Amino acid sequence: MNMIICGVDVSKDWLDAHVWPDGAVERFTNDATGIAALWLFCHNHGATHAVMEASGGYERLCFMLLWAHGMPCAL
């Protein structure tokens, strides 16, 4: 079984998401509204995990909210 993963590039204002292997990309705001849209984007593309880099704390809200909605995350 292949795993579908969403990679998230984190910055202060933005979350740039890329779903592998299907190649879907989208930009979201780094706030609760944007993260909810990111979760829906992941769900709609079948992504079961999110990965992101540690970015001086800018990743924390995204990590916590995705995790709270049942999406496993890794830094």
Residues 3-61 pLDDT 10s: 999 999 999 999 999 999 989 999 999 999 999 999 999 999 999 999 999 999 999 99
Please give the backbone phi and psi of residue 6, each rounded to the nearest 5 degrees, phi first. Answer: -105, 115
pTM above 0.85, yes or no: yes
DSSP 17-70: EEEETT--EEEEESSHHHHHHHHHHHHHTT--EEEE---TTTTHHHHHHHHHTT
